[in-house]
Chains A and B, each alone.
Chain A
Amino acid sequence: MEKINEFRMTLWAKSVNEGFCRAAVAAFAAQADPTAEEISDIKTAVSEAVTNCIVHAYPHTDGRIYLSCQLYRDGRLRISIRDTGCGIEDIKKAREPLFSTMGGDRSGLGFSVMESFSDKMLVRSRPGKGTTVILEKRIRGRT
């Protein structure tokens, strides 16, 4: 399917950028005329992926988040959220609902939410190298 638009950005892995990332992807998706529900789903999934880069990827250092977005002619939006942080030891385990390596107020729902609020989620990770999450969402729009 033909790609009709794309954007890429790099940000510091700081929590203040969570809202910025959601807003940026939502603004980019707006050209496909999504419904309010589709926009809300996209923002939710992006927020989870970006938050994971901020919370988990760089425990001891400053780091960056690489966000890119492609829009295809059929309304498919493909969002890639990548970090070069610590990576995930056991992806299968990490994707299980309620699994978290962090205590406090983390609930271990991030991957479940991403999966449920997008059409497709792909996770690639290598310990010590980093993690890439690809989210796909078909925007059917208001027609």
Chain B
Amino acid sequence: MPVQLTAQGKTLFALLSGDIDHHTAPALREQIDNAVTEYRPRMLCLDFSAVSFMDSSGVGLVMGRYRHNAAFGGDTQVCGLSPSAERIMKMSGLGKIVSFKKNAEGG
């Protein structure tokens, strides 16, 4: 399963795994958005620690989830990025709207 969703208090954890690219992103997007719509978490935590590969599609995935979650008043954080994924995320300036954490902690 490419994304495992777990709710804990007001936080929704999304543990992503496998490769994230333009081919795999739509299924991830749909599953996360459905869970957010249903659960309305205060915090959405996107955990990349089990991701084997990511290109700029990962930025689009985070950006889109941030927007969708913000529409319900929730915040988004990203954790477990590999050095290369972090480099791509930082190129996008996404750090201004989403907080990057080392480990999943919610909030």
Contact of B84 among A40, A105, A112 (CB under 8 A): A40
How many residues of chain A have a CB within 8 Å of chain B? 27
CA distance A5 to B57 in the complex (A): 31
How many residues of chain B have a CB within 8 Å of chain A? 23
Chain A: residues with CB nearer than 8 A to chain B?
Answer: 15-16, 18-19, 22, 37, 40-41, 43-44, 47-48, 51, 54-55, 97-98, 104-107, 109-110, 112-113, 116-117
Chain B: residues with CB nearer than 8 A to chain A?
Answer: 19, 21-23, 25, 29, 53-57, 59-61, 63-64, 82, 84, 87-88, 91-93
**Selected A-B contacts with CB under 8 Å, 20 pairs:** A15-B21, A16-B23, A19-B23, A22-B53, A43-B53, A44-B54, A47-B53, A47-B55, A51-B22, A51-B55, A51-B57, A104-B64, A105-B29, A105-B64, A106-B60, A109-B59, A109-B88, A109-B92, A110-B55, A113-B91
